[in-house]
Structure 1
Amino acid sequence: MQLTMIDENKYAETMQNTVLPALEQCRDEGWFDPSAAERAAGLEPLSGLMDTGGRSGQLHYLCYDAGKFDAIREEGATATFRGAIVISHGFTEFAEKYDELVWYFLLAGYSVCILEHRGHGKSARDVENPCMVWIDNWRRYVADLAAFAETIGQQYAAGMPLNLFCHSMGGGIGAAVLEQYPTLFDKAVLSAPMIAPATGMPLNVARVLVGTLCGLGFSKKRVFGQTDFTPEFSMKGNEGASEARERWYFKLRCENPEYQTYCAAFEWVRQALKLNRAVLKPSACAEVETPILLFQSGHDIWVLNKPQNKFIQLVKDGGGEANLVRFPESRHEIFSMPNSTYKPYLDKILSFYDDPMIASASY
């Protein structure tokens, strides 16, 4: 189906006056206890040092009901329920950053569920610096997301397809979920996934360096060169993206202290590199059964493209269905680009989710 994109010249006005009021009417907010799933994965649950929502160790989520949304009768809504989409967000992100994408998914007939990963948004945190992201074991992210999808996600899918949308760090987590839980999702979109992070040096060198620093007690220290959040807007590093969208995200960060995650702890980097190794094991890729559509950004400074190519090839070699679409002029966040890029990107996503034959098509 074809959707009308938000006019970038009226972006903030449209988001404030149209999108947010509609989302408010169909949104459910909740807290997910991941302890049982983490124990089942061999991980001891963490209680959290900082719980911005006031719930020890629990993870915050937002869900949007397509049925309630259709009752609002927004212009352009399909009024045909197609299932649910679980969103796995990126590093330092938060659920409300995806309001625009949620809006489009709802118009297309999908309920949407977004879990804020540990250390992000209102979910439990384990370091005192509110700007820093730390995780002790990448498998915790995977267990949390899978358990959320198996319960809350399936509830919102109501017997219809349950799909996955991932971005960046969330894409690395999502790839691992697809390998370890091959029948959980019907289809999966990986948008600029963090199959491997860009570290500024060869990955093997980064592994040794970061491992050494963590061993010396730097596990919960901020990565050198990174800073805490400061309320000074800049398009540096996002040249070519939609300034209207970038300003909107920045406004959300400024207004919500829990959205001001901005830097990595050394242990987070070490775990990202461990995730990279695990996800690219041929035996793991051979377990994937969910059809995958991976979007790659040509001007990506945050994740590496070659490991994405390798992942797709390994999934294919293992008998899975996986295709790659490259946006050569796009920055890392394709959904933050101008409408000229965002629209074809969105159209491909919805075609992939909607068409029962699209999984075997060639892109």
Structure 2
Amino acid sequence: MEIIREKEYDTVMKEMVEPYLKKHGKSGYISSYDGIGKIHVMRYLTENPKGVIVICHGYTESASKYDELVYYFLQAGYHVYLPEHCGHGLSYRLTKDPSLVHIDNWKRYVRDFLYVCEYIRKKHPDLPLNLFAHSMGGAIGGIAAAWKPEWFYRVILNSPMIRPRTANIPWVISASVAGVQCLLGKGEAYVPGQHPYDASETFETSASTSRPRFERFNNLRKSHKYMQICAASYGWLFASVEMSCYLKGRAWKMYRAPMLLVQAEEDDYVCGNEIYKFARRIQKYKGASCEFLYLPGTKHETYSCDDKAMEYYVNRIMRFLM
């Protein structure tokens, strides 16, 4: 598959991709699993589909970040559904702070996601459902695929949050502090070092290795308040701890669908060695086939890299989905 080249990226996205997505896409809402809010879902339908892909996005992300990848999936013959998690994008939130990512319980993420997947399966009962899950979404999707292994035909965990990085603070200390703060009723407080959105992110400090790809979403984010989430609460941090424990303790034994785990070379957001160890556990257990893809020269957002890496990455994913 031909990818969009960096030198013509802005032009092609504006003149070809965005109109195409507008024509094939539809915005809608589905109730959360417990009915307390609405989950925003983008639906994109292609002609003569051979399958469906549901994208499980990452921490602080929103649907627009995946426009390029959605376009490739549509071109390859897949319907695409992209729900925005609680606290993200246009979905319901559990805090009034527009910058804060907060959750009351990690199972809310998984149950909401599976609720959407159940809706997709009912809409397209004759098409195989594939999962592409990135970062925090890799943890959510990784658990969802363990809870409902029979639902998914192929599973891609892209830079999955098997364990998040916690800056210079040891993981055990971060986990313990988060748990204590939640017990003290401070789950909605900012984790130290986090702050409200100030539009200060730069390409050099980003998780991307493609300036045009980074700048497109960064400019969209500056223009849309609902995209400006950027900081973690203690509640979110403790949820990430519990998801990590579940993934490493139980989930790896429960998979049945063929899997592809992707690790970036330079990842400042999740622990790369934990992704590799997770893949090895799945491979040794043999409940599901598992391929491991290491991408040299990339950062956390492997779907936002330079032309050479992007072309290899996109085509590797397409071959896996076949």
Please indicate the TM-score interval, normalised by the length of the shorter structure: over 0.9
Equivalent of 1:264 in 206, 211, 232: 232
Match of 1:287 in 2: 254
Aligned partner (choices 14, 18, 21) of residue 19 of structure 2: 21
- Structure number, greater radius of gyration: 1
Q: How far apart in 2 are the matches of 1:108 and 1:63? A: 16
Which residue is 1:307 aligned to?
Answer: 274
Q: Report Cα offsets for 1:194-228 as digits up to 9, x if no partner.
A: 01110133322221121122233321011111122
CA RMSD in angstroms, aligned pairs only = 1.5
User: What percentage of residue pairs aligned between the two structures are identical?
Assistant: 32
Query: Match of 1:111?
Result: 79
> Deviation at 1:314?
2.2
- Could you tell me which of 35, 43, 59 is aligned with 2:39? 59
Provide the residue aligned with 2:67 in structure 1: 99
Q: Which runs of 5+ in 1 are unaligned?
A: 39-44, 48-56, 68-79, 355-363
The answer to whether the 8 A contact 2:207-2:301 is kept is no
C-alpha separation between the residues in 1 aligned to 2:294 and 2:64?
A: 26
Query: What is aligned with 1:41?
Result: none
The Cα shift of 1:240 comes to: 6.6
Of residues 83, 87, 90 in structure 1, which corresponds to 2:51? Answer: 83
Q: What 5-or-longer segments of structure 2 have no aligned partner?
A: none
Residue of 29, 45, 68 corresponding to 1:31 = 29
TM-score using structure 1 length: 0.85
Judge conservation of contact 1:106–1:112 (CA < 8 Å) in 2.
yes
What is the TM-score with the length of structure 2 in the denominator?
A: 0.95
The answer to whether residue 160 in structure 2 is matched with residue 180 in structure 1 is no
Q: Is 2:56–2:137's contact at 8 Å kept on the other side of the alignment?
A: yes
Shift of 1:153: 4.8
CA distance in 1: counterparts of 2:279 and 2:4, whole angstroms: 32
Inter-CA distance 237–252: structure 2 relative to 1 (3 Å threshold)? same
Q: Aligned residue pairs: how many?
A: 320
Cα 1:154–1:171 change in 2 (3 A) is: farther
Partner Cα separation in structure 2 for residue 230 and residue 336 of structure 1: 22
Contact 1:190–1:292, Cα closer than 8 Å, also in 2: yes
Q: Matches of 1:63 and 1:337 in 2, distance apart?
A: 25
Native 8 Å contact 2:207 2:267 kept in 1:
no
The 5 Å alignment of 1:1-363 reads 3-35=1-33, 38=34, 47=36, 57-67=37-47, 80-155=48-123, 157-200=124-167, 201-232=169-200, 234-238=202-206, 241-281=209-249, 283-319=250-286, 320-354=288-322
Q: Deviations over 1:219-278 (max 9, x none)?
A: 101111112222345123237711101110111111211011111111100010010001
